Amino acid sequence: MVLKSFLLVFCLIAAEIEHTDSEWRALLGRERYNVMRRKATERAYSGLYLNEKRSGTYFCAACSASLFSSKDKYILPGCGWALFSQSILKSVVYKEDWSLQFKRYEVLCRRCESHLGHVFHDGPPPKNLRYTINSMSLKFAAE
Calpha distance 34→40 (Å, rounded): 6
Q: Please say whether the beta carbons of 92 and 108 come within 8 A.
A: yes
Is the pLDDT at 1 greater than 80? The verdict is no
Which CATH homologous superfamily contains domain 2-142?
Peptide methionine sulfoxide reductase. (2.170.150.20)
Containing 68, the helix (H) or strand (E) segment is strand 66-69
Average pLDDT, the chain: 90
Res 55: pLDDT: 98
1-5 mean pLDDT: 37
Containing 2, the helix (H) or strand (E) segment is helix 2-14
Res 11: pLDDT: 38
Sign of CA dihedral 105, 108, 113, 115: negative
119 strand-pairing partners? 105, 131
* pTM as predicted: 0.87
pLDDT in tens, 23-68: 999 999 999 999 999 999 999 999 999 999 999 999 999 999 999 9
Query: Binning pLDDT at 50, 70 and 90, where does residue 14 land?
Result: low
Is beta strand 130-133 parallel, antiparallel or unpaired with respect to 82-84?
antiparallel
Amino acid at 33: Y
pLDDT in tens, 96-109: 999 988 899 999 99
Q: Which residues lie below 8 Å from residue 91, measured CB to CB, with a gap of 6+?
A: 65, 66, 67, 68, 109, 110, 111
What residue spans define the domains of the chain?
2-142
Calpha distance 123→130 (Å, rounded): 4
